A and B are shown apart, each in its own frame.
Chain A
Amino acid sequence: DVKVTQSSRYLVKRTGEKVFLECVQDMDHENMFWYRQDPGLGLRLIYFSYDVKMKEKGDIPEGYSVSREKKERFSLILESASTNQTSMYLCASSLPYRDSEQYFGPGTRLTVT
Chain B
Amino acid sequence: AQRVTQPEKLLSVFKGAPVELKCNYSYSGSPELFWYVQYSRQRLQLLLRHISRESIKGFTADLNKGETSFHLKKPFAQEEDSAMYYCALGGGGAQKLVFGQGTRLTINP
Which A residues form the contact surface with B (CB < 8 A)? 4, 31, 33, 35, 40-45, 48, 50, 56, 58-59, 90, 92, 94, 96-107
Which one of A45, A56, A101 lies within 8 Å of B49 (CB-CB)? Answer: A101
B90 in contact with A99 (CB, 8 Å): yes
B95 in contact with A94 (CB, 8 Å): yes
Give how many A-B residue pairs fall within 8 Å (CB-CB). 56
A43 in contact with B99 (CB, 8 Å): yes
B95 in contact with A97 (CB, 8 Å): yes
A106 in contact with B43 (CB, 8 Å): yes
The distance in angstroms between the C-alpha atoms of A48 and B95, with both chains bound, is: 9
* Chain B residues with CB below 8 A from A42, complex form: 6, 86, 99-102
Which one of A4, A43, A106 lies within 8 Å of B86 (CB-CB)? Answer: A43
Which B residues form the contact surface with A (CB < 8 A)? 6, 9, 32, 34, 36, 43-46, 49, 51, 86, 90-91, 93-102
A-B contact pairs, 16 of them (CB 8 A): A4-B43, A31-B95, A35-B99, A40-B101, A42-B100, A42-B102, A43-B99, A45-B98, A48-B96, A97-B95, A98-B90, A98-B93, A100-B95, A101-B49, A104-B45, A107-B43
The distance in angstroms between the C-alpha atoms of A104 and B47, with both chains bound, is: 13
The distance in angstroms between the C-alpha atoms of A99 and B44, with both chains bound, is: 17
* Known contacts A42-B99, A44-B99: A102-B46 contact under CB 8 Å: yes
Q: What residue in chain B is nearest A33 (Cβ atoms)?
A: B96
The distance in angstroms between the C-alpha atoms of A85 and B91, with both chains bound, is: 29
B94 in contact with A98 (CB, 8 Å): yes
A50 in contact with B101 (CB, 8 Å): no
- Known A-B contacts: A90-B44, A104-B44. Give 16 more (CB < 8 A): A4-B43, A42-B6, A42-B101, A42-B102, A45-B97, A48-B95, A56-B96, A59-B98, A98-B32, A98-B93, A98-B94, A98-B95, A99-B32, A101-B34, A104-B43, A104-B45
